[in-house]
Amino acid sequence: PVERKLSGLWRNEQDSLMEISALADDGGFQGEYLTRVTLAGGCTRISPLRGAQQQPSEVAWPTFAFTVWWDTFSNATTAFAGQCFVDASGREMLSTTWMLREAVGSLEEDWKATRVGRNVFTRKRTPKG
């Protein structure tokens, strides 16, 4: 079924997984992110995320933003912003753009510290209950 909501398990084209919990009344949400790729190329751990949806879920397609803390294996931070859609084949997807801030050791390295990219997430399964 088409849920038109962010909660549930999602996978992106890099095979990263993201589970978003139920949305609060104010649009806030929390979740967990398991990235398949890292800057260092090393192993990863499940990382917490926090975000907010900007429209009530019944209205059109909600826009949202969230931040992931990679603390357990990296000093980097990623912020994602996007919108939920249903594609031509009826699959829900999250079209997002992200900025990844890497920690650098000095102001001279600041220019190279931020990457930008895109991720498309499709729903793996809907939450229970």
Closest distance between ligand BTN and the C-beta of residue 12, in Å? 5
Cite the beta strand spans of 56-113 per DSSP E. Answer: 63-69, 77-86, 92-101
Q: What does the alpha-carbon distance between residue 5 and residue 2 come to, in Å, rounded to a whole number? A: 9
Note whether 36 and 46 are within 8 A (CB). no
Q: How far is the CB of 16 from ligand BTN (least distance, A)?
A: 3
Question: Would you say 16 or 30 has its CB closer to ligand BTN?
Answer: 16
Contact of 62 with 82, CB cutoff 8 Å: no
CB of 9 to ligand BTN, least distance (A): 14
Spacing of C-alpha 10 from chain mean position: 9
Interface residue list for ligand BTN (CB under 6 A): 12, 14, 16, 35, 37-40, 70, 74, 76, 78, 98, 100, 119
Q: Which is nearer to ligand BTN, 50 or 60 (CB)?
A: 50
